[in-house]
Amino acid sequence: MFLCKKTWILTNREITWSTLKKALSTMADSVLHGYDDTQVALMGEECILIDRNDNVTGSASKKTCHLMENINKGMLHRAFSVFLFNSDGHLLLQQRSQAKITFPGHFTNTCCSHPLHTPAELEDNGAIGVKRAAQRKLQHELGIDPKQLSVDDLHYLTRVHYLAENAPDPGTWGEHEIDYILIAQKDVDITPTLNEVESYTYVSQEQLRKMIEKSQEGNLLITPWFRLIADKLLMGWWNNLHNIQQCRDSQIHRFCDQ
C-alpha cells in the first residue's frame, strides 16, 4: 500500500466565471460549514439528473444531488465506477481521503465519480461521455496520464442502480446513482492527490475477500457501492478479463427499491 504525496488540484477544467460564482456560493452554504475548502468547491459542479431508466432530465449541483432530503424525494443522478487491473490481474483500489465529504477513509474501487452536465460528458454514443469523465477523474484523483489510459482502454459493461446513506455520519449526505461500470486492464503510473486519495493498493481476489471479511468485522471501511458490486458482479468480470466484452449487457441492475 502506498501513501500519497501532498498535491493540491481543484480541477483540470477551465474555470469560468459562472463556475467560480457557483463554487463561492457553495462554500458559503451552512450545510457545508467545517468541511475541506477544496471538497466544498467541488460540490458546486453540475451533475446529470436522470430518471430510473437513465434518461437525462436536467442537472443539479453535486451538493444538491447528495443531500438525503433530495434523495428521499427520489432525486437520482448519473455516476461511474472504474475497475482498473494491472497486467498481473490485480485490481487497483483507493482509500478515499479523510477530507472527502461522503464516505471519508473508505476503501473503494479504482475511481468513482460523476460525469458533468457538459456536452462532452453528456454524449451517449458507446458511453463516450462517461468514459471522458472517467479519464478526467482518473487524472485528477490518481494522476493517471490520459496518454497511458485512453477512452478506448475503458470498456463499458453495465449499469448499477443503488442508494446508500453516508457513513460514518448518516443523516445529511448520501448517494443515489445509476453507476456506469468501466473496466480496463493496463499498467499505469500513479501519482495520487492527497486531498482525494489517502492511499492505494493492488489486490488479488483472495486479498479482496480478506478485506471484505475485515469490513464485516468492523475493522475496515468499504464503500457501499463497491461492496454491492464485489458481492454480486465483480468476480464474473475479474475471471473474464481476457474477453471482457462478453460480460457486457444492457441492463440496469437494481440494488435498491426506489
Which residues are the active-site residues?
Answer: 112, 177
Cβ–Cβ < 8 Å for 79, 180: yes
* Run of H or E residues at 181: strand 174-185
**Dist CA 16 CA 11 (whole Å):** 12
Distance (Å) of CA 138 to CA 30, 50, 56, 80, 183: 30, 23, 24, 11, 13
Cell digits for 60? 443539479
List the helix and strand counts (H, then E) for the chain: 9, 11
Neighbours of 243 (CB within 10 A): 7
Look at residue 121 and give its three-state secondary structure.
helix
**Dist CA 29 CA 101 (whole Å):** 14
Nearest alpha carbon to residue 39 among 147, 194, 188, 151: 194
What's the maximum distance between 2 C-alpha atoms anywhere in the chain?
A: 49
The residues, any chain, with a CB within 8 Å of residue 50's CB and separated by 6 or more, are 56, 57, 76, 77, 78, 178
According to DSSP, residue 172 is labeled: S
